[in-house]
Structure 1
Amino acid sequence: MRILLVDDDEQLMEALASKLVDQRYAVDIATTGEMSWEFMLLFDFDLVVLDWMLPDIDGVELCQQIRAEGYTMPIMLLTARDRHNDKVLALDSGADDYVVKPFDFDELTARIRALLRREISISSPILEWGNLKLDPKTHEVHHKQQLLPLTPKEYGMIELFMRHPQQVFSPGAVINNLWAGEDPPGEEAVRTHIKGLRQKLKAVGLAKDTIKTVYGVGYRLKTNDDNSTAETSQLNTQPPKRNADINQIWLQFKDLAFERLASLEKLGIALAENKVTAELQAQAKSSAHKLAGSLGCFGFPEGSKIAKQFELFMDHNPLKPEDLEQVTKLTTSLRADLQHQPFEKIKDVLSNNISLLIIDRSHDPNLDQQLITEANNHGMKTHIATDLTQAQRILERESIDALLHKIVFPDGEDLKFLEQLHQHQPNVPIVAIAESPQLLDRLNFVRRGGNLILQHPVEPLIAVKAISELIDNLGKANKVLIKVLIIDDDPQLLLSLSMSLEPWGFEITTLNKSTQFWEVLESTEPDILVLDIEMPDLNGIELCQILRSDRYWQHLPVLFLSVHQDNQTKNQAFNIGADDYICKPVTGSVLANRILNRLKRMRIH
């Protein structure tokens, strides 16, 4: 399906186009109203997305002109204007939807899909043609439950034919629909893709001429005599894949954003020198408008607000020397905000909102109140429990980010509670306040998943700061997702390991066929490899030797997990390049800690 984006903010539109192309839409971008008309005369669009403030025409006026010419495709107004009257005016002018900048990319693309579904005269987004089913939401095509491995262009072709089953498409029409925004290829490229698509349709049991050639004209699906088209109301609720990383998109357009900021700062300099011109002021207002509409989309919501304030401030024409202070204040604040990483301030707010459970079975009300006060001063939400039953109820009802436990060693009941908590929520840091803990006490504590012991008595401020630092350090350690590849010929063991390791925040890939090792290795690019020794075809020792012989992969950490406990096997593993060796059976927490420790040592060296 083909979408036209009309907005003079090329930075924002290219980012949006990238998201839409990833979802297999054909996208064209026009930066003026005149350019949009040229596109509309050339191509048939399924949706138009319009900005309100275009250089040569008002977006609402353009919307009215489109409707006056008889075009019926959905139109979405995408603008920074958020007043109620503006929304009413736009919808009354023929727009089908109204979205205020800055927007969330995934929400916007979902709205676009919703508008496109309204235009399809079927009761659901899933298309059917005989036993062939196409789901535009997941961009998947199945024949009798078998997924077709289609390229983006092949998918676009079959979608085009299934949406218009009675229509013949010339090679030129196929190119217009599928190669938007790209240099159009020759008709030979269409024939090549048609050939590939036919082969894949035949491979799943369909006739090779499912896509018929109408000689001298083009291509279409077979007639109703051979197949019939039908629709289904079944919905697929899986969300679209997030193929585009907003942080990466921001890196592409960061320089342009700072150029626009420089335009605002240039106005401040001119104001200080009493050299403000109408042209300079108009340029600064345009830059502020574009920054207000785009920065929030790239993870700078505060930047969007500041730019919007600047834009509104510019409405007071002309600027006077006494406005210099406000202009300087806004530009300084905006530059400071853009020095952060996208979404950084949002993450800071979320990280400060820590939910802390305090367990004090000794019933020390003074200490408890001081801990609650200090925690609240640090932005933490606190829960207090005076026994383990009460603590368990809180854990069942609330989402806890950290635990502070005043414990008296030795106490088997407390340690058992901590062990059970760690097994169910391994990412929750556990801090203990203990009086004169002995070496064995400390060992039992860390074996149960404890992270930090504070000597009693302890200042409440020190205890709260220690919790904050611990959470911050654990957050930094887990910020980069650790990818683990596990190879074992026992599917049940692989399932068990996946379930026990995933709560630790690992990205787990499992493989039970060692012959597929290299293909999976290169596609997943793991941070660490876990190998069984005894496997059919290729054993773990041989896989490790293959790995160590490759210049690129020879430094990948390898951890052996085997039932063999004899020294000869262990020595053989270490001699050919193993980094660690664990004997089965093993618990998830032990394996997770061995993986983390191995990676820590790798970073140190």
Structure 2
Amino acid sequence: MKVLLIENDNLLIKDLTKYLMLRRYILDVAKEGEMGWTYGSTFDYDLIILDVAVPKLDGISLCKRFRTEGFTTPILLLSDQDTTTAKVEGLDAGADDYVVKPFEAAELLARVRALLRRSSTNPLPILAWGDLLLNLSTYEVSYNGQPLTLSTMEYELLELLLRDSQHVFSTDEIIDRLWSLEQFPSEATVRSHIRRVRQKLVESGAPKDFIATVHGRGYYLKASKREEASPSSTIPAQALPFSEPHSLLRPARQNQPTTHRTRNLILMSSDVDISHSLVQAAEKHGLHLQSLSGLPQQSGLDLQASNGEFITQYPDAILFQFPSESRRGDTARKPMDQSSELSKTWRFFSHYYPDVPVLVMAEQGELRDRIEVLRWGGRLFLELGQPEQVIEAVVQFLDRLNRSSKVMVLDDDQDWLYAVTTLLKPWGFKVTTLADPQQFWTVIKAVMPDALVLDLHLSEVSGLEICGLLRSDPVWCQLPILFLSAPADAATQRQAFKAGADDYLHKPIMGFELAERILNRLQRRAAP
């Protein structure tokens, strides 16, 4: 379990760190309120312990800010104020508990356990998955009655998987949940821990894939044959009459489980061999690929393929195979001519699934084909090579599409930092704000942002210097950097671009404009 401690008393920090880490809690420490907001709004914590009297942003204001922004993490307030008024103020600010200093360690730990039980989906002291049992009270783990000897990190890894056994945990999620900000490991370290836990489970009689891997996505606990759930409660997306198909299809997809949900692809190809190879490659990556050779027909409220199979799952992407030159015949010059079968099929699916990305494969990446695909709204053009490579490219595209991009904003204007989070929220960005440039290097390494929005004039260090620092670092030299500052003169902008900026915007700015400029940079960076 991961705890954020926001406290400026070094002696108390030392004591709480000792008490919590002895009981296997992972702890991050922030010594002032603004840094506490940066950590708490960026990373996932199971509990926040917050002192009311921290500097820069007091505990009551910070607690209100967390709740106003929709964070539901349990918050335990620490204070030396024992009055009823102070307690009421803290609880009304959104705190879940209030502890008066000085306190006994045993009482605080009991309150921590109570808050964690209250917020847990499984409040029982025993976590179980098939024959695997984990006792949260004694820290003992067994499989099929045989005790497992685990290191602290191996225990925490199993606990994480058991607490949300149907979730596919990516490597980044595992690092975020199990390591403190000062100890961020490499992905190879995570894979090494996974291998060791698997080996110990196998030695106790567990299947080799008890901790299963979804290629390109992460790890989850696999149910045994006898424990697999009854047919999924996923609501199938049924195609509607051609006139207005998507009004109910979108809610149907939203109701599908987001954790451990199989991604669905539709493949339009008349080449049986290629279709068969792609179906097999997709299965290895945990994808369900439905191959169609011709335009589907409407049967009642359903779409039915030419082989009689119904299309019941809303697709995550539609994959078209462009016909080769030898098969185009009269359409060799214009494969997407309005009267061609390919264009009819494209329009059909665009009407039924208007928000689903269309990806195109072709034996050769001719310029005219690429332009044609772009004009018709295609999102990705792939040269038809090995099936495994094609599917890997599709998986990478979907991962980028579904992942919330992380944007870091560095500015010493506290009011602006508060506003920018709201401005970018409608676009699904995960925003990390930072006001203290001295903490920049620590935070950027922990956050690993996809883009940086930077003010030109900062206290103690300039934005130009930070930009130059990043451009000279082999890890960060390709990071999209956008300057957002008050000066709008040409000389200042030239300075920014000379330092390595990708874009320059000036305040004030509308949310949609800032989001659009960030998205443009992210798309250019992600382009294959």
Bigger CA radius of gyration:
1
Tell whether the structures are fold-level matches, with TM greater than 0.5. Answer: no
What's the TM-score once normalised by structure 2's chain length? 0.42
Q: Which one has the bigger helix percentage?
A: 1
